[in-house]
Amino acid sequence: MKIFNITKPDDAIRERIIHKIDNLTKPKGALGRLEEIALQIAMIQQTTSPALRNPHAIIFAADHGIADEGVSLSPKEVTWQQTLHFPKGGGGVNFFCKQHGFTLKVVDAGVDHDFPAGSGVIDRKVRRGTANFCYGPAMTKAEMKQCIEHGAAAVRESFNEGCNVIGFGEMGIGNTSPSSVWMSYFTGIPLEKCVGAGSGLDSEGVRRKYSVLKRAMENYSGDRSPLDLMSYFGGLEMVMAIGGMLEAAERRMIILVDGFIMTNCILVASILYPQVTDYAIFAHQGDETGHKRLLEHMNVKPLLDLGLRLGEGTGAICAYPIVDSAVRMMNEMDSFQETNVTKYF
């Protein structure tokens, strides 16, 4: 599989960054989380004057064999319909992108549909949806590696277009199911605490979903290594997002992490390459049952809690103005040395 070169930001500049933040015209620590974000971004970019350039959002789309087990309220065809809808500009993610100046890219990782030429959907189809992991691996190891490479390539393209801050989203009916299984395996949290309503299941639907996933886990006889769990239970779009996240970290880009599914992806990415989380800003706590527990397990604090559960990367883009404010604080706020204001802390 592709090898990534991800290193922790050099700590030598940390004290200079903290000194600048602490000497802006405010009481020390008065801008709270903005100061934490500013420190993180300045460390990523190794400068006391960080910048956000040409933000991109990438949606990876794919179908899931597990959807055949009735684990989602939404019908399977919604995957291709919404994937085709995004480039036309009328989806939830679209107005956030327009509002905050994001370039949106929509990538077909494995949708069970043929998109017409000129549709605006980028073709990186590995297969027409995963196999049903109730009965065997969702994808082969070779397909998993291909997804990693395609995800990395998508980010390289954005980087070469001048992007240094990127959010990831997904479109795939049924994808909270592989996410719940990943969460349980990779955190040790019992499956029942990881399974939620997805796109809107009632309590009986959630119980049925749990039963299906429990049976799938009981049928699994692999070695439980990260790569085996990724390929056996993963979604094509999820593995592609992992490749994208790892490439972004290698290129010292800021990664905006969206909801339950993308948090599971950064979790798996961090098991493969622990340093990846140094580049990740967790945008929001979604409404899916397991998301709060997952964020707590990773010991990270999301910026927002708005009850979002749309996916598509919307929460990551919605949180972007907070990130922008942190960078503006560093670059536009006077220091005590530059003004006649007496230090008041």
Active site residues: 312
β strands within the chain, DSSP E: 56-62, 103-110, 121-123, 165-171, 254-257, 280-282
CA angle 181, 320, 79 (to 5 degrees): 45
Question: For the purposes of burial, counting CB atoms within 10 Å of the CB of 53, is it exposed (0-12), middle (13-18) or buried (19 or more)?
Answer: exposed
- C-alpha to C-alpha distance for 5 and 247, rounded to whole angstroms: 9
Place of tokens 């691996």: 137
Question: For the purposes of burial, counting CB atoms within 10 Å of the CB of 41, is it exposed (0-12), middle (13-18) or buried (19 or more)?
Answer: buried
Task: Give the rounded distance of the alpha carbon of 78 from its chain centre.
Answer: 21
Q: How many helices (H) and strands (E) does the chain have?
A: 13, 6
Angle between helices 236-250 and 141-160 (to 10 degrees): 50
